[in-house]
Chain A
Amino acid sequence: MVLVEEETLSGTHTNCISVNDVTKSYGKNPALSGLSFSIPCGEKYSLIGPNGAGKSTTLKLLVGLLVPDRGSVSIDGIDPTTKRAKKLIGYLPEDASPYNTLSVRENLEYIGAIREVQNLRERVDQLIYEMGLSEYEKSKVSKLSRGNRQKLAVALSVIHEPDILLLDEPLNYLDIPTQEKTISIFDRLNATVLVSTHIMSIAERLTHGAIVISRGRTIWDGTMEQLKQLGDPTEAIEKIVMRLMTGAAPTH
């Protein structure tokens, strides 16, 4: 981490996440059309936008599960499909489903082994304990409740202590104590963070910056403070975001 910060200060490359003029369609169905933004190393941003805006697609491009039709994305200045980028990234998709054919502990051990995590046994014990999964460690994942499955997914996404976190609705299904626990686990990593969410209170808890997108384009970015200042002091942040989003819709 220290190294990254030094690099940031000396300006070798300041952006850990960058998306440059990216266009991506699924068949004929456009998802992103000329999306650009970047996130400096160590910063935490929310990716906010209406349903179908392209948030999940953006994250999949950044993990290297998709490739842009046009434009480019980079993680710490490199292509996300490379080995080095993969070591840096921790990714949690929306409605994450761990391996159904493995138990809770086997899931963590398997991904830990593939990620070449040092002191894997201790790390797995710690995550199982922290996420409150001790009584389920031998359970088949297919028999877990939705919330417990999400806890396991969170643990899997941080098992290698990533420097860059890409999270898609990370707190879905979790009860309130687990939400707090999860937030503290994410915070402890001191990572560069990009969180896709609809829930403004979660955005405010996890991040200090926001990127608002709609129809596959960036329509606003800045700090949470700046976002609040767009409205009057009594106005709820949801209202402000709503105005931004509806303002972005084409006016026929």
Chain B
Amino acid sequence: MSKDVILDVRNLKVDIPVSAGMLHPVRGISFSVARGETLCIVGESGCGKSLTSLALMGLLPKTATRTADKLDFLGQDIRDLKERQMAALRGVNMAMIFQEPMTSLNPAYTIGNQLIEVYRRHIDPGKAEARERAIFLLEKVGISAAASRLSQYPHQLSGGLRQRVMIAMALMCGPDVIIADEPTTALDVTIQAQILHLLADLQKEFQMGMILITHDLGIVARVADKVQVMYAGSTVEEGPCQAVFDSPLHPYTSGLLRCIPVPGKTQRGSRLGSVPGIVPNLVGDLHGCMFRNRCDHAEAACEALAGDATQLSDGHAFTCRMTPDEAAQAARQTAREVA
């Protein structure tokens, strides 16, 4: 398997000093994304998905610190790049779509202006070419009368249209990887699936790597090549989409997947199942399995869990004290309880 890996991340950590001490919202995340591949990250709110994507982009809040054993982008170590060097990658090689389309566009400028500026900055300073590209992409993202939209202001567009504009903007310079952080959470339910499908189609068409953060499991089942399940800043389970959906191993994953989605069959818009209990505080020294206070299978051993993942043959891995067989059995039990 000769995959063209674009982004390779090992042991990514983010720390933020807060009044109560040091917050560890991202605690050692690893993954890779290849060209044409879609990685979906799922997990409850607050588990560190947004900070993970901001850390990749170099857009963390000023107070946050980022460390990693490896952070390779297009074969280049980007850990120690200067802000100016990161800015040269952002928008061109890596692009991001945010959760809040209503506030992510500058209210003072037309969408044409905002689409064109990124192209003129990175690719070609000429106006005409950038304008053509903008019209081409607005049509690509399904916006009619694209040329006349260029002179509209963000406040004249609906949330769905604005998010389409954001997608077009991310594609202006033909990025190698696109990071979409819950791009539809703020939108009307009726258009969420449309936008997500649009993203998936464009990713295929332009052969980009994509990191998609979403709560829509139906979409994950359809578009993901790989799935990463995050809990409290760590990965609890990861693997090929099929494997994770067919045989979830970590109790948290089977909790999330309680609606038993099947790739290709799960209903659109199916949400993550809810797991009872609350996320632990991530301030200070942390040890053991962070899920143990909410887990039906918790034992004393969970407190001492080192956090090394158990690897299965097909790239499927999970972090739990249970053996794969025990875990599979526990997961089947969860599924049966629900049925």
Q: Do A and B bind each other?
A: no
Residues of chain B touching chain A, judged by Cβ–Cβ distance below 8 Å, are none
